Structure 1
Amino acid sequence: MLELKNVSFSADGKEILKNINLVIENEKFVVMTGPNGGGKSSLAKIIAGIQKPDSGQILLDGKDITDWSITKRANSGISFAFQQPVRFKGVTVKDLITLASGKKMSTISVCQYLSEVGLCAKDYIDREINGSLSGGELKRIEIATVMARKTKLTLFDEPEAGIDLWSFKNLIDVFEKMHAEVRGSILIISHQERILNIADQIVVISGGQVSQVGTKEEVLPGLFGVDLGCKYFKEV
């Protein structure tokens, strides 16, 4: 279980998060949504350890991890997929997925992860994670990498960004399968209706605060048509 207690965060003199209190239970599929600039990505980065809160506590299974490094949090079972994936010159796709899994993997196993995110494995397995890959390709490879880790808490920041229509439909299947097989918690930042519709819990972040938490039946009726800052809830 992940628990945030009175978490606040500021950047460049601006208050981004204000006394966030939130509990994410084990084995839950949670989607975080709300207006752009509301603090969603900052909150995800604070959970992952990329940014440090000004005040408050972060607890993982009852342990205070507020001051833990990114590496220590990763080793304790927290994964994070960036909105803009990182490139690794000189590292192949197979190397990256194998490294993420923490164990020796066969080519067949690596290919299976790539196939699940809509990539032709034989065309990608030996490619470097460099500028030759498009943003959409990098996004799918990163999702495959996170899947291979099989951690207790996986964070995705707008995973649909750069994903085409066909791949997006398959992405939903990937998340559902991942949730069923890994039995860990998944926290996704998204505005997309199809992702919101498979959530156990929806968290709405607005103005740096948690404005609503509930099931999709409780939250969604009041959100459709709400301006999210250049985006609207829509079905892809």
Structure 2
Amino acid sequence: MLELQNISFGVLESQGKKEILKDISLTVGENKFVVITGPNGGGKSTLAKMIMGIEKPRSGKILFDGQDITEKTITERANLGISFALQQPVRFKGVHVLDLIRLAARKDLSAADACKYLSEVGLCAKDYINREVNGSLSGGELKRIEIATVLARGTKLSVFDEPEAGIDLWSFQNLIQVFEKMRETTNGSIVIISHQERILEIADEIVVISDGSILKHGTRDEILPEILGTASAPSGCQFYRREA
């Protein structure tokens, strides 16, 4: 489904060029739940933005369903079937939640159908369906609304950049249930950037990125014990976070 071939990316800083991604090659297969994890600053979020087209690689190729999308725009990638949930959701003054979900679904959903997506992410639909997507909503509320729009799109590939960021414990526990259900029912692949043990535990595959390179890529059973320190883990590998 998704293939990254020798992807490299860097930025210019006052001290010179900083390499953020270094010759990354990664394949995400059909109907896979893949979690990308690793130390802060290792390049995880940049890789997610690369998949969506927010950033473009300095070298290498990105293929989606066999098609080269390296130079395609965000909109073109979205039209091909890629969804992206930002770490910090965007606010839209004057846009209501119902409108946003309809835009995501690309059809004139009834209010009742739109409410189902809100209920799936743990929001009382009648309290939110007519709210503006503005500063009156908390970060956690915005995060769940954004995830509801991804559910409404139902694309071949859904990418989430640290979906747990800025949400409370109850919301996080509900979020795990949302991802578990997506894993069971979605006809597509899911890629999540996360440090959270609970999210790592439901992955099919785990990719460990550090200092711009892939350290490890394998099944959950192969990689998770090392991350948790229950096997002979490399130095600096215990970077995950537990939720109480």
* TM-score tier (shorter): over 0.9
Alignment of 1:14-93 (within 5 A): 14-93=18-97
Query: Is 118-127 or 147-156 further displaced after alignment?
Result: 118-127
Aligned to 2:200: 196
Which residue is equivalent to 2:241?
A: 233
Where does residue 179 of structure 1 map in the other structure? Answer: 183
Tell me how far apart the structure 2 counterparts of residues 206 and 69 of structure 1 sit (CA, whole Å).
Answer: 27
Which residue pairs with 1:219 in the alignment?
Answer: 223
Confirm or deny that 1:2 pairs with 2:2.
yes
SS of 1:85 mapped into structure 2: coil
Aligned AA for 1:153?
L
| Equivalent in the alignment of 2:209 | 205
Match of 1:80, SS?
Answer: strand
What is the alpha-carbon root mean square deviation over aligned residues? Answer: 1.5
1:63-118, Cα deviation, whole Å (9 max, x unpaired) = 10000000000000000000000111111000000110011111111111111111
Counterpart position of 1:119 = 123
Alpha-carbon deviation of 1:166?
Answer: 1.7
> Partners of 2:236 and 2:107 in 1: how far apart?
44
Identity among equivalent positions (%) equals: 68
| Counterpart residue number, 1:167 | 171
The count of residues paired between Structure 1 and Structure 2 equals 235
Structure 2 Cα separation of the partners of residues 57 and 82 of structure 1? 23
Superposed displacement of residue 37, structure 1: 0.2
Q: Which runs of 5+ in 2 are unaligned?
A: 230-234
Corresponding residue to 2:143 among 129, 139, 146: 139
* TM-score (norm. length: structure 2): 0.93
Give deviations 1:141-197, integer Å, cap 9, x for gaps.
001011100000000011111222222122111112223222100000011111001
Distance 1:178 1:148 in 2: 12
Distance, in Å, in 1 between the alignment partners of 2:119 and 2:241 is 28
How many angstroms apart in 2 are the aligned matches of 1:72 and 1:7?
20
**Which contiguous aligned blocks of 4+ residues in structure 1 show a shift greater than 6 angstroms?**
none
Decide which moves more: 74-83 or 213-222.
213-222
In structure 1, how many angstroms separate the alpha carbons of the residues matched to 2:240 and 2:56? 30
d(CA) in 2 for partners of 1:23 and 1:14? 25
TM-score calculated relative to the size of structure 1: 0.96
| 2:161 equivalent in structure 1 | 157
Given that residues 224 and 233 in structure 1 are in contact (C-alpha distance below 8 angstroms), is that contact kept between their aligned partners in structure 2?
no
Q: 1:94 aligns with which of 95, 98, 102?
A: 98
Following TM superposition, by how much is the alpha carbon of 1:234 offset from its aligned partner in structure 2, in angstroms? 1.4
Contact 1:201 1:215 in 2 (8 A): yes
The one-letter amino acid paired with 2:184 is: A
Secondary structure of the structure 1 residue equivalent to 2:228:
coil
Q: Within the alignment, does 1:11 sit opposite 2:15 as a pair? A: no
Residue 80 of structure 1 contacts residue 155 of structure 1 at CA under 8 Å; is this kept in 2? Answer: yes
User: What SS does the corresponding residue of 1:146 show, helix, strand or coil?
Assistant: helix
Is the 2:83–2:159 contact (alpha carbons within 8 Å) kept by the matching residues of 1? yes
Cα pair 1:34 1:228 within 8 Å, conserved: yes
Structure 1 CA distance for aligned equivalents of residues 41 and 100 of structure 2: 31
SS at structure 2 position matched to 1:205: strand
1:48, 1:38 → 2: CA distance? 18
Structure 1 residues 234, 211: CA separation in 2 closer, same or farther (over 3 Å shift)?
same
SS for the counterpart of 1:162 is coil
